[in-house]
Structure 1
Amino acid sequence: MKRISVAQPTLNGNERKYVLDCIDSTWISSAGKYITAFEEAFARFCGVKHAIATNNGTTALHLALVALGLQAGDEVIIPTVTYIATANAVRYCGATPVLVDVQAETMNIDPAEIERKITPRTKGIIPVHLYGHPAAMDAINEIARKHELWVVEDAAEAHGAEVHGRKVGTLGTCATFSFFGNKIVTTGEGGMVTTDDDKLAESLRLFRGQGMDLKRRYWFPVIGYNYRMTNIEAAIGLAQLENVEPALAFRSQLADWYNEELSSLKDELVLPTQDNGTKHVYWMYTVFLKAGDSRRRDSLMRVMDEEGIETRPVFYPMHVLPPYAEATSYPVADTWAQRGINLPTHQGLTREDVTRIAAVLRQALRK
């Protein structure tokens, strides 16, 4: 039987046409019509004034923090369960990522734990919309306003997710996205920063292009970075956005299929939930073992791999990784991160594939 990958891009629109147009026109580097078109289209998609394209999601995060003035000695609050880029971008600025435990239901940052980690050095909060479920932005923004902090949404995995009808990317001071090959919208590599703040947008564009003055060529008033997206990448992204609504609808359907197929395993698995007022976009359909630890989880994943089904573990918490290791206990993260599995989640799957995945998972749980 065919091997089922955990993720793969869907390139069935105008991607080839637009890329060939870049090649034929010779506009293949970090200037060209597709960059502007992609930025404008992504801003419309999110419902935000500005979208600034970058060469990947990590540089989008770093660029946002630089533009916000983060400096050595500052602190930024982040969830301990996230992809390491969230913490790394803070460190790139010489600042300290301050870790906070997560909510068991969504694995997103727990607002109830944020306030006690705030110090006079705290400058901002980076909530992560993990695996496509939005963080509790109402509570987070209330805390941020109270303490005069900025909020950078790490929306790398959550294109199109919503809170009370507003898309992520519009819910903080600014937001960052990734367009890596396994994301809902991909450019191969690539990222984006979104904001409604005109002054911040201007600063983001300045630092993105080596710090060159936007109105005076080859004049560099600041030390900047080469974080620009190529025209070819933007061409792929524009084609992807043309089909983003069907892509999001398919992921919702895929989650329904999984929910139906796995409903008989609710005594053994915790299935994804969706908080009231939110839209989960299921970048990854993630399940958790109700009992056991990482050894049992990894054993189950090996069985699935032997049956031709690729899976992924939930991210290691930051506090167990060598660069950010702490002796502190984070009870939710310590328990649930060991039990989480990302099942295959992409548009190449069929209902029959989901039935097969569920059957193999059921079989693995019995071993």
Structure 2
Amino acid sequence: MDDFIPVSTPVFEGRERELLAQCIETGWISSEGPFVEALERGMAKRTGRAHGVAMSSGSCALQAAVGALNLHPGDEVIIPSFTIISCAAAVIRSGATPVAVDCDPRTWCMDVDLVRQAVTPRTRAVMPVHIYGLTVDMTRLDVLTAEYGLAMVEDAAEAHGQQCDSHPCGGFGTMSVFSFYPNKLITTGEGGMVLTDDEALAMRLRSMRNLCFEPQRRFVHDELGWNWRMSNVQAAIGVAQLDLLDTFVERKRTMGRRYDALLADIPGLERPLPSTPFADNAYWVYGVVLADEVPLDAVQAMRRLAERGIGTRPFFWPMHEQPVFRRMGLFADTHCPVSERIARRGFYIPSGLGLTEEQQERVAAALREVLVHA
């Protein structure tokens, strides 16, 4: 379908071609090139961090961050149930146990009150995840983790340029993690980064991403690492994208406000909050949840939108309902009714940086037609 509107397409409006040409002209295409360090410095400065460590993906960055905590069997890490599987997988692969809590019904982010209820003597860390454009209440979570002496790994994969209580996302906790997947505000194609203020952690993360080569004896290894390096080619794109981050954030917010106006009078449609007491919505994606009285679920609504040339993406499926984890015996007694409901009744509509006003109008009209004839 020639006029199909995809959920997201990346936008390259800055120095991407220029910096990529430099990679080719100089021959620096591997992880040894200068743009990797430039991107690390730029992201660290942007988030108020001391150190950035680029990785080959956001999932690898999460795995490295959790792995650097040196967790042991029996240790617990509290995560939101409503998130991507990478969060739980990182905890499990570290040898620890993920403990899932439900999300707030309006922000879709981890409920800090439920985090407090989930803390046990075995809890070692908390992993807040900012969801779809709004943030976890990080100030309250900071207080909680300090009270119990817990580490915090902030998943800011969807929160480039976002702030919570006027503090940049990616700047909270022991470590924070970004993804640079193509649908993110900064993309390197594939890629991610861990940020921290702890120099020893940064050194360990650099070693882990580089097969744990010994500094003096390169091919002698005291422990096993991974090849999670980001290439200079990827980083060059990221450096160019970082230059435009403020522009991209404002563009997303303009799209969000426009969707708010276009969809305001559609009955049975729960739209994202424009703000909370601690954050303004950055509208990384524009998610909607069908009210209980709507006789369609998300799958049916998405199918009807696809027939009209509109791309959509389902909401995350809850961690405590993932078949792979159930087979492992995890989350057996976990119940997260909010996550369960929005997973079945929520989806997001086209909201990439390249979306035009005319396309937004088409999306809104199609969504209106689907719900009116539900």
Deviates more, 1:77-86 or 1:209-218: 209-218
Aligned to 2:174: 173
Instruction: Determine the C-alpha separation between the residues in 1 that align with 2:340 and 2:29.
Output: 46
- Which residue among 315, 334, 341 is the counterpart of 1:328? 334
SS in 1 for 2:297: helix
Task: Please tell me whether the aligned partners of residues 293 and 335 of structure 1 are also in contact (alpha carbons under 8 angstroms).
Answer: no
**Structure 1 partner of 2:241:** 240
TM-score by length of 1: 0.96
Q: Distance in 2 between matches of 1:255 and 1:295?
A: 24
Aligned to 2:276: 275
TM-score, reference length from structure 2: 0.94
Alignment of 1:72-87 (within 5 A): 72-87=73-88
Residue 52 of structure 1 contacts residue 201 of structure 1 at CA under 8 Å; is this kept in 2?
A: yes
1-side partners of 2:294 and 2:268: how far apart? 13
Q: Distance in 2 between matches of 1:199 and 1:306?
A: 53
Q: What letter corresponds to residue 357 of structure 1 in structure 2?
A: V
Contact 2:269 2:291 in 1 (8 A): yes
**Aligned-partner Cα distance in 2 for 1:205–1:214:** 11
Query: Which of these residues, 357, 362, 366, is aligned with residue 360 of structure 1?
Result: 366
Deviation digits for residues 85-139 of structure 1 (CA, Å, limit 9, x no counterpart): 0111111112111110110011111111112222222110001001121111112
- Taking a change above 3 Å as real, the CA distance of residues 263 and 295 of structure 1, as seen in their structure-2 partners, is closer
Bigger Cα displacement from structure 2, 198-207 vs 290-299: 290-299
Q: Which runs of 5+ in 2 are unaligned?
A: 327-331
1:348 alignment partner in structure 2: 354
Q: SS in structure 2 opposite 1:278?
A: coil
How far residue 223 of structure 1 moved from its aligned partner, in angstroms, is 2.4
Residue from 335, 342, 345 that aligns with 1:339: 345
- State whether residues 137 and 278 of structure 2, in contact with CA within 8 Å, keep that contact through their aligned partners in structure 1: no
Is the contact between residue 62 and residue 89 of structure 1 (CA under 8 Å) also seen in structure 2? Answer: yes
Q: Which residue of 2 aligns with 1:158?
A: 159
Within 2, Cα distance between the matches of 1:294 and 1:95? 41
List runs of 5+ in structure 1 lacking aligned partners: none
Count of residues paired in the alignment: 366
Opposite residue 7 of structure 1, the aligned amino acid is S
Task: Please give the alpha-carbon distance, in whole angstroms, between the structure 1 residues aligned to 2:182 and 2:215.
Answer: 31
After superposition, the CA RMSD in angstroms is: 1.6
Aligned residue in 1 for 2:38? 37
SS of residue paired to 1:153: strand
Residue 95 of structure 1: aligned partner: 96
| Residue 71 of structure 1: how far off its partner (Å) | 2.6
CA distance in 1 between counterparts of 2:215 and 2:196 reads 18
SS in 2 for 1:141: helix
Over 3 Å counting, the alpha-carbon distance change for 1:41 and 1:214 in structure 2 is farther
Query: Percent of counterpart pairs with the same letter?
Result: 39
Q: What is the CA–CA distance in structure 2 between the aligned matches of 1:36 and 1:216, rounded to whole Å?
A: 23
Which moves more between the two structures, 236-245 or 219-228? 219-228
Report deviation, 1:219: 4.8
Q: Alpha-carbon deviation of 1:294?
A: 9.7
Tell me how far 1:65 sits from its aligned partner: 1.1
Alpha carbons 2:268, 2:293 under 8 Å: kept? no
Output the CA distance in 2 between the equivalents of 1:283 and 1:215.
44
Secondary structure, aligned partner of 1:7: coil
Q: CA, structure 1 residues 294+9, in 2 after alignment: closer, same or farther (shift >3 Å)?
A: farther
